[in-house]
A and B are shown apart, each in its own frame.
Chain A
Amino acid sequence: MFISFYRAAKFSFQDIIRNVWLSVVTIIILMLALFSVNLLLVAQVIGRAAVDTVRDKIDVSLYLKSDSAESDILALRAQISGLDNVREVSYISKQQALDDFQTKYKNNPDIIDALRELDSNPLSPSLIILPQDVNRYDSLIANLNKISNPIIESRNFDDHKLMLEKINAITERVSQAGFIMSLLFIFITLLVLYNTVRVAIYTHRAEIGIMRLVGGSNWFIRSPFMISSIIYTLIGLILTTVAFYIFLSLLQPYLETFFMNYDFNIINYFKQNFIQFFVLEFIGTAIINMLASLVAVRKYSNV
């Protein structure tokens, strides 16, 4: 059994080397397919990270009347904390709001000067509410709207959800486009590999005929082509992994700018999930390639 496998592997290597240009083209097409699948995965990872970034920043502000008593504010804060889907309620006092405002606009002398012109602190105290689950943002807004408290001056329910939906929609569209692209490349890979096996069989038709003549089993005749498809997969995957690592290294600086103040490193993500990436892609691609080879071999190896 081992000897037969060794010989089948030997015939397979001979075939790859004898048809070197066909092998190169097959591997390149395979690389394109794998690269597009990896791109799709990265687009999803980046999209998810972008959505998470936005989610962390989504909050709801309740502006309170300037003369509200501290005890009333704390009571309201406690009431809101008890609501469903509330992760955290922060209280921003008048003074803190002023400090934050000054810090924010410290480089804008016009605004700072205008603020000085005023006799008193014009800012209101507020409660900043962070939702537990952004997807249930609507129900939180509805609950907050139900609260009727005289100290509430205004409610800033910016439509963060719209922004979130937009990001989700973009991520989804990128994923869909990537998915279609990947399917296309996988289909092309199937055709190319099918054709590669056909050409290999044509090149080896004399050998196949003689193998049959002298009692070679179907397994022995077909297995070199199956082994070739696994070798193509392995070489294609290794080269794609190297190329993709280089691509991610070039992409990372741009992502760092985009995800400023947010811990996101695509290379680390790639490294951490490398085994899953490699093994799953290898298994998936090997199965697809072997299927294409099997169909071609069954159809054309009856020389």
Chain B
Amino acid sequence: MITLDNVSKIYQPNIKALDRVSLSIKPGEFVSLVGQSGTGKTTLVRCLIGEERPTIGKIKIGDWDITSIGKNEIPYLRRQVAVIFQDFKLLPKKTLFENVAFALEVAGRPTSKIKSIVPQVMKIVGLGSKLYRYPHEVSGGEQQRAAIARALVYQPKILLADEPTGNLDSINAKEIVDLLRKINEFGTTVVLVTHNRDIVNQLKRRVITLHDGRVISDQAVGKYIL
């Protein structure tokens, strides 16, 4: 369960990125967080992964209050709350396999485990035949799949997808959303941050709409209303 209790984030001198946001997301939910650019969606994601601290309010993941989290705890948070971005953030000099393995390497997982886990996850995201390709050798959609695979190797409870389709054409975007849906079916909570109207409307899942840092709508089966 993700709980935000009256969360505000104010940047100096007085820019309110988030303004008294309160919401909760149940385990296993698929939530779309929508809103125009600059409405605080990414700030919310950054707060959820401990990259930013709210100026006021509390964020809890389960019983874990991540607003007062220590620096040493952030790596453990990031293994529970995985995130993917619009620009994939893959290392260009590593193969897709190495990129995914890198996440497990930094966590100190044994090489034998890495060798067994990575191909499995790559297969789930549909990259079983492209393990040893470099990012520049595959399409944008496949790069995003690799990024998703990297996010999944820890079997996180929550997956935050910050504009994952922003750099993709409609076909690839649809495939990525389908993949996110599949991941959600396995039990992972998915928070999809987007301003893609078509995707949100096709999903027919919960939609939280942000405007000027505030929640202006929260519908159980929602549509893109802006």
Q: Do A and B come from one complex?
A: yes
A209 at the binding interface (Cβ < 8 Å): yes
Cα distance, A218 to B72, chains bound together (Å): 7
B108 at the binding interface (Cβ < 8 Å): yes
Least CB distance, B69 to chain A, in whole angstroms: 13
Contact with B along A265-298 (1 / 0, CB 8 A): 0000000000000000000000000000000000
- Whether B106 and A220, one on each chain, are in contact in the complex, defined by CB atoms closer than 8 angstroms, is yes
Q: Secondary structure of the B side of the interface?
A: helix
Cα distance, A1 to B103, chains bound together (Å): 16
A29 at the binding interface (Cβ < 8 Å): no
Contact with B along A208-221 (1 / 0, CB 8 A): 01111111111011
- Whether B106 and A211, one on each chain, are in contact in the complex, defined by CB atoms closer than 8 angstroms, is yes
Contact with B along A1-39 (1 / 0, CB 8 A): 101100100000000000000000000000000000000
Are A213 and B83 CB-contacts (below 8 A) given A207-B91, A218-B71, A218-B72? yes
A83 at the binding interface (Cβ < 8 Å): no
B110 at the binding interface (Cβ < 8 Å): yes
Within 8 A of A (CB), among B27-76: 71-72, 74-76
State the interface size on chain B (CB cutoff 8 A).
24
Contact of A214 among B72, B106, B110, B111 (CB under 8 A): B106
Contact with B along A178-212 (1 / 0, CB 8 A): 00000000000000000000000000001101111
B79 at the binding interface (Cβ < 8 Å): yes
Most buried by A among B79, B83, B106, B150: B106
- Whether B71 and A214, one on each chain, are in contact in the complex, defined by CB atoms closer than 8 angstroms, is no
Cα distance, A196 to B88, chains bound together (Å): 29
- Whether A220 and B108, one on each chain, are in contact in the complex, defined by CB atoms closer than 8 angstroms, is yes
Cα distance, A211 to B77, chains bound together (Å): 13
Residues of chain A lying within 8 A (CB to CB) of residue B105: 7
- Whether A214 and B102, one on each chain, are in contact in the complex, defined by CB atoms closer than 8 angstroms, is yes
Q: In the complex, which residue of chain A has the Cβ closest to the Cβ of B76?
A: A215
- Whether A3 and B110, one on each chain, are in contact in the complex, defined by CB atoms closer than 8 angstroms, is yes
Cα distance, A34 to B83, chains bound together (Å): 47
The size bracket of the interface on A is 10 to 19
- Whether A217 and B83, one on each chain, are in contact in the complex, defined by CB atoms closer than 8 angstroms, is no
B154 at the binding interface (Cβ < 8 Å): yes
- Whether B91 and A213, one on each chain, are in contact in the complex, defined by CB atoms closer than 8 angstroms, is no
Contact of A210 among B91, B107, B110 (CB under 8 A): B91
Closest 10 CB pairs of A and B: A216-B106, A215-B78, A214-B103, A215-B79, A4-B108, A215-B75, A217-B75, A211-B106, A7-B105, A3-B108
29 pairs, A vs B, C-beta closer than 8 Å: A1-B108, A3-B108, A3-B110, A4-B108, A7-B108, A206-B91, A207-B91, A210-B89, A211-B106, A214-B82, A214-B102, A214-B103, A214-B106, A214-B150, A214-B154, A215-B75, A215-B77, A215-B78, A215-B79, A215-B103, A215-B106, A215-B154, A216-B75, A216-B106, A217-B72, A217-B106, A218-B72, A220-B106, A221-B106
Hey, which bits of chain B sit against chain A, CB under 8 A? 71-72, 74-79, 82-83, 89, 91, 102-103, 105-111, 150-151, 154
Q: A3-B111, A210-B89 are in contact. List 11 more A-B contacts (CB 8 A).
A: A1-B108, A7-B106, A214-B78, A214-B103, A214-B106, A214-B107, A214-B150, A214-B151, A215-B78, A215-B106, A220-B108
